[in-house]
Amino acid sequence: MVVVMRGNASETDIEKLIRAVRDAGGDAFVSRGRNQTVIGLAGDVARISELPLHAFPGVDDVLHVNRPYKLVSAEAQPEPSTVMVGETPIGRQGVTLIAGPCAVETAEQTLAACEMARDAGAAILRGGAYKPRTSPYAFQGLGQAGLDILHDTARRIGLPFVTEVITPADVETVAAKADMLQVGARNMQNFQLLKEVGMSGRPVLLKRGLTATIDEWVMAAEYIAHTGNLQIVLVERGIRTYEPMTRNTLDVSAVPVAQSLTHLPVIIDPSHSGGKRDLVLPLVRAGIAVGADGVIVDVHPNPDEALCDGPQALVRDDLDELRLTVSRFAEASGRHVVRAGARTAVHSA
Ligand code: PEP
Ligand code: MN
C-alpha cells in the first residue's frame, strides 16, 4: 500500500501516520519528492487496511498497489517526476542531452571531450573515473584522480556532471564531488550499492542490466527509493539478445513501458546499446521518437586512441548533426531541448 500525502502535509501528520502503521505491526518508508511525499507501507496488509488511513490529517490518497514496487510506481505518484541535476532538469517537460567521454583518460582529453559535449548542446556532462570492465586487463579508470579531473573540468565549463560509482565503499567520495551518481548495467542488482547511492542524497542514473527485465530494473529503482531518495532516472542502454551485429539491442519499447509503470524519467543510451558510431544518431532519433526524456552519448576528441569504447564515440564532425537531431526530434514530438540551468527554457538548433 502507498499513502500519498498532500503537498501541505506537516511533519507531524507524517509522523502520526507512521506511528499508527507501526502500532499495527507494519512498517512505513517515507520518500520525499519535490512536490509530494509518498509513504510506502509494508507488513500485514489486512491489519494495516483496517486503519482509517484516508481520515488521517494530511493524507491525499491511499493506494493498493498490486505490483511489487510501490514508491516509484505511477500509482504512487501520477504526475511524472522531474529530477534536478545541479540546475538542470530531467523529466517529461523536455529532452535533456548528457554527453562526455566514456572514460576520463587525461585532463586534456577530458576537457576536449567535455567541450565537444557542450558544443553539441549537452546540459549535463558524463565521464567515467571508476570503470566496470569485463576484463581485469582492460583500463580500469583513473579512480580518484579521474574524479578530480572531471570535477575541475565540469566546473570550468559550468555544467553539472554524472559519473559512475562501482562499489559501496566509494559512494561517499564520489558523491562529495559529482552532481549525479551512475549505477552501471553490471551493478543494477548490487543491492548494497543501490542502498548506498540512495542514502547519498544525490540524484541517481540507474542503467538497465544487460539481462534484466523491466520489472527487475524498476525493482532496483525501488531499492534506491526505499532509502528516501526519489531522484532517480532510468536508462535503457540496450539488452543482450541473440543478435551479434550490435553490441546490445536498444529496447525502445522499454521507454514507454517504464514510463507507464513509474513516475521516473526514462532516457536512452545509444552509445552502449549500438556500440558503433554510425548507429548512435539513428538510435537517438528512435529514442526521442518513442518519448525518451533524454539521451546519454559518448564523445571523444580522438577515438582511435581511446582507452575505452572508442568505436562508439561520436567525433567532432558528428556534433552539429547530434545537436540538430536532438532538437528536431524533440520538436517533432512536441517537446523542447533542455538547456543547462534552465528549468523550462528552449534552445533552438
Ligand atoms: C558507461 O556508461 O560508461 C557504462 C559502463 O555503461 P553500462 O553500464 O551501460 O555498460
Ligand atoms: Mn562506455
Q: What is the mean pLDDT of residues 270-279?
A: 97
Same fold, 2-63 and 83-337: no
- Which pLDDT tens digit goes with each residue over 281-300? 999 999 999 999 999 999 99
Predicted pLDDT at 175:
98
How many CB atoms are located within 10 Å of the residue 108 CB? 11
**Quick check: CB of 184 below 6 Å from ligand 1?**
yes
- Ligand 1 atom nearest to 128, measured from its CA: 3
Give residue 40 CA to ligand 2 midpoint distance, Å. 35
Predicted pLDDT at 344:
42
Is pLDDT at 346 greater than 70 in this prediction? no
Give residue 237 CA to ligand 1 midpoint distance, Å. 8
Rounded Cα–Cα distance for residues 219 and 235 (Å): 14
**Quick check: CB of 207 below 6 Å from ligand 1?**
yes
CATH superfamily, domain 2-63, is: Phospho-2-dehydro-3-deoxyheptonate aldolase; domain 1 (3.30.70.1140)
- Ligand 1 atom nearest to 131, measured from its CA: 5
- Ligand 1 atom nearest to 187, measured from its CA: 8
**Quick check: CB of 128 below 6 Å from ligand 1?**
yes
Query: Is the CATH code 3.20.20.370 the one for domain 83-337?
Result: no
Predicted pLDDT at 10:
92
**Quick check: CB of 208 below 6 Å from ligand 1?**
no
- Ligand 1 atom nearest to 102, measured from its CA: 3
Q: Domain extents for the chain?
A: 2-63, 83-337
Rounded Cα–Cα distance for residues 89 and 340 (Å): 8
Q: What is the mean pLDDT of residues 314-339?
A: 97
CA-closest residue to ligand 1 atom 4? 184
Q: Considering the chain, what percentage of its residues have pLDDT values greater than 90?
A: 86
Helix (H) or strand (E) holding 156: helix 144-157
- Ligand 1 atom nearest to 269, measured from its CA: 9
pTM of the model: 0.87
Q: What is the mean pLDDT of residues 96-118?
A: 98
**Quick check: CB of 126 below 6 Å from ligand 1?**
no
How many CB atoms are located within 10 Å of the residue 176 CB? 11
Give residue 185 CA to ligand 1 midpoint distance, Å. 6
Is pLDDT at 34 greater than 80 in this prediction? no
**Quick check: CB of 165 below 6 Å from ligand 1?**
no
Predicted pLDDT at 3:
93
- Return the ligand number nearest the Cα of 206: 1
Predicted pLDDT at 343:
52
- Which pLDDT tens digit goes with each residue over 334-344? 999 999 876 54
Give residue 219 CA to ligand 1 midpoint distance, Å. 19
**Quick check: CB of 300 below 6 Å from ligand 1?**
no
**Quick check: CB of 185 below 6 Å from ligand 1?**
yes
Give residue 74 CA to ligand 1 midpoint distance, Å. 27
Give residue 133 CA to ligand 2 midpoint distance, Å. 9
Burial of 202 (0-12, 13-18, 19+ CB in 10 A): buried
Q: Which three cell numbers stand for residue 179?
A: 552532481
CA-closest residue to ligand 1 atom 10? 185
Q: What is the mean pLDDT of residues 320-343?
A: 92
Residues 6+ apart with CB under 8 A from 306: 101, 102, 103, 105, 300, 313
- Which pLDDT tens digit goes with each residue over 145-162? 999 999 999 999 999 999
- Ligand 1 atom nearest to 208, measured from its CA: 9
Q: What is the mean pLDDT of the chain?
A: 94
Contact 194, 223 (CB under 8 A): yes
Count of residues for the chain? 349
